[in-house]
Structure 1
Amino acid sequence: MMFASTRLVVNDIKAVVGFYELVTGLSATWLAPVFAEIVTPSATLAIGSTETVALFKEGSAEPASNRTAILEFRVEDVDVEFERLKDKVEVVHEPKMLPWGNRSAQFRDPEGTIVALFMHATDAAKARFAGR
């Protein structure tokens, strides 16, 4: 089995896609007016408007309701990325060290999902993720 993507169901697909294009520096691929993907080397972030919920089961997903998942993007230098983004998006926290050896900053996308940018900062964290 291979983990392929995470999908967000959103009210304002243009705003959310624009946010992730800004954060990742990647252009979205629009597969339909109600569905886009940001493809990274390790996984895909799929973004669907609320109209896509009806394709599965009405009421099965609710936009702007996430309070548990954090989307994480590994970057080369979290401080550089923070400086690039801090005046353009909502900041949750500035770069700081986490107990497991990562340096991380967090933001919120236009519908409230937390987005973390992180880098492995300690030798132990770098060794744990070598080859991934």
Structure 2
Amino acid sequence: MNLVSIRVITEDVSKLLEFYEHITQVKGIRFTDDFAELQTPGGTLAIGSTRTLQFFGGPQVAKAAANQTAIIEFITTDVDKIYQEQSGFLAPYLVQEPTTMPWGNRSLLFRDPDGNLVNFFTPVSADAIKKFEGKI
């Protein structure tokens, strides 16, 4: 079994897709007005509108902009460079500037327009580099 994607539910697919395209520099794929994907070599961030919930049992299944537990993570070669290039854009969303974590990743933490936590990180310790070898 392989994890292939994470899907976030939103009231505004266009806004969220544009945000993620900007911060990742990856062009998303818009399948319908209610569904888009941002595909990377390691996995896919799917973005679905609240209208798609009807296919999964109704609006009580998920609530847009209510995530309080998950962090969407992207590995990158140089988180400090991304922060330098994107700091103006990310300013209203910033949670934490690049910081080296005890587990060996240098992390930039911010929220997307719906409030979902997003972490861009670069492995910097020998163990973290080894753990993520071939993933960047």
TM-score (normalizing by structure 2): 0.93
Q: Provide the alpha-carbon RMSD of the alignment.
A: 1.0
Alignment of 1:20-99 (within 5 A): 20-58=20-58, 59-89=60-90, 90-99=93-102
Match for residue 107 of structure 2?
Answer: 104
Report the CA distance between 1:129 and its aligned residue.
Answer: 2.3
CA offsets per residue over residues 42-90 of structure 1, 9 Å max, x none? 1010000111011111110100000100000001100111112221121
Identity value in percent: 39
Q: Secondary structure at the match of 2:64?
A: coil
Structure 1 unaligned blocks of 5 or more: none
Report the CA distance between 1:13 and its aligned residue.
Answer: 1.1
> What residue identity is the alignment partner of 1:110?
P
4+ long deviations beyond 2 Å: 128-132
Distance 2:100 2:133 in 1: 19
Q: How many residues align?
A: 132
Distance 2:115 2:86 in 1: 16
Match for residue 128 of structure 2?
Answer: 125
Structure 2 unaligned blocks of 5 or more: none
Distance 2:131 2:73 in 1: 17
Structure with greater helix share of residues: 2
Q: Secondary structure at the match of 1:85?
A: helix
